Homo-oligomer: A and B are copies of this chain.
Amino acid sequence: MPQSTAHITALDTYDIRFPTSRGLDGSDAMNPDPDYSAAYLVLRASDGEPEGHGFTFTIGRGNDVQVAAIDALRPYVVGRPVAELCADPGSLYRDLTGDSQLRWLGPEKGVMHMAIGAVVNAVWDLAAKREGKPLWRLLADADPAWLASQVDFRHISDALTYDDALALLRHGKHGADDRAAELLHRGYPAYTTSPGWLGYSDEKLTRLAKQAVADGFTQIKLKVGADLQDDIRRCRAAREAVGWDIRMAIDANQRWDVPEAIEWTRALAEFNPYWIEEPTSPDDILGHAAVRRSVHPVKVATGEHVQNRIVFKQLLQADAIDVLQLDSTRVGGVNENLAILLLAAKFGIPVCPHAGGVGLSELVQHLSMFDYVALSGTTDDRTIEFTDHLHEHFLDPARVGHGHYLAPTTPGFSATMHQASIDAYRYPDGTFWTADSATTDDAGTHHHALA
């Protein structure tokens, strides 16, 4: 990486909230009224170095607590040499997750862990900008030994060792150039949740489901779990709209206990759901295993709320999931997601990341694209979630066409928001919020259909 004597001069934080609850975008059985939000940070450096941007996605209240947690990490970052930081983000990641006092607040879970992830991701954004590469490319080009050194094997070495990781990454190099070319040509498969929010009418569901197929998606997803008769009616409407060749996933957002999850999923089996997502608590490894044994051939998927690599390890060890849905801002940043991708590769389980919200698509596409090019080497049964919300706030928005994410080519992690968006949606003092009463009529929708 480029040498310099630059250092980090500031870590600035922003509490950014979008009023998405007004349109019932994102409504599901557990989250009836999310206000998609970001606890956002900017690393600033001396000597004309680029900025590093990162964030934790939240759904509204508590975003201030998440910002406070990121603020608490400032002393660990400011003053560090940029070149050193970018040459080894894993060193900062370990310093933060291993801090003997901070780890009491987790360890490696919840608010403090997500804050660490946001800061670590900002460093990767900075590193990729300095390299002049989109992050997926930086990762795919990286030396396997260096990449393996970025993983913390603590508490997962009974399932994945450094040697395992190195072997998987070396294997991933074979044919990587061809796959990178293919990726740039064709993109990475996407599926869409846009038709399926629980707050939408059947008419809107049907219309959006048909539109999804017309747009080239081969998989859609419906939220379920609030009322069984409603779910049966909505699944039927969706199947009537898209036919039986389109994969239709269903998502209960943790609504059920184990017995109910089994019963409810079986009751929807006639609609041939491809997977049941978050059938119960994300903490319930044994529960997911029990559900999976009972709902076959419906697959079991989870991950957007799985707190760290140690829980993912157990979900894999217990044969509890068919589909692993990592999230870009839930865990300890790129470093921990590397561990999770490696675990999935070792166990042969496809990764279909959680996205949507605000900025999650922008980040997570890089992880799946790296996985395709230089780790698992395949997109078979792999697909990234997509919803058409709030992309317009990013300088390098996720772009989906013909049912595929197009590979980013701009250097960085696609994490940078427009300054105008930050200025408008800072809570509570941004121009949108201060002018709230005057603009309520326009605020309910933030949909932008992408080509």
Contact = CB atoms under 8 A, between A and B. Distances in A.
Given A62-B101, A101-B35, A113-B110, A286 B285 contact: yes
Interface stretch (A226-234, A237-245, A309-317): A309-317
Main secondary structure of the interface of A (DSSP, over half): loop
Given A65-B72, A65-B112, A284 B105 contact: no
Contacts of A287: 155, 158, 314
A66 interface: yes
A373 interface: no
A283 B311 contact: yes
Interface in A58-85: 58-62, 64-66, 68-69, 72
B103 A30 contact: yes
A215 interface: no
Interface in A30-64: 30-35, 58-62, 64
Nearest to A290: B158
B285 A285 contact: yes
Given A106-B110, A307-B109, A311-B283, A64 B72 contact: yes
A281 interface: yes
Nearest to A282: B107
Nearest to A158: B258
A133 interface: no
Contacts of A32: 100
A257 interface: yes
Contact of A284 (B104, B109, B114, B310): B310
A156 B344 CA distance: 28
A201 B442 CA distance: 68
Give the interface centre of A65, A104, A157, A280 by most chain B CB atoms within 10 Å. Answer: A104
Give the interface centre of A59, A110, A153, A156 by most chain B CB atoms within 10 Å. Answer: A110
Interface in A157-213: 157-158
A100 B287 CA distance: 22
Interface in A81-104: 99-104
A64 B68 contact: yes
Interface in A390-422: none
A65 B62 contact: no
B100 A31 contact: yes
A328 interface: no
Contacts of A69: 62, 65, 68, 111
A113 to B, nearest CB: 7
Interface string A243-283: 00000000000100111000000000000000000001111
A304 to B, nearest CB: 10
A281 B155 contact: yes
A59 B106 CA distance: 12
A254 B107 contact: yes
B318 A286 contact: yes
A276 B157 CA distance: 20
A305 interface: yes
26 contacts: A30-B103, A31-B100, A31-B101, A60-B104, A62-B102, A62-B104, A62-B105, A65-B65, A65-B111, A65-B112, A68-B68, A69-B111, A105-B111, A107-B254, A107-B305, A108-B283, A110-B113, A153-B257, A155-B280, A155-B283, A157-B258, A158-B259, A158-B290, A284-B310, A285-B286, A286-B314
**Chain A to chain B: the 5 pairs with minimum beta-carbon distance, closest first:** A110-B110, A111-B111, A68-B68, A61-B101, A60-B101
Given A34-B100, A65-B68, 5 more contacts: A105-B114, A153-B257, A158-B287, A284-B313, A286-B318
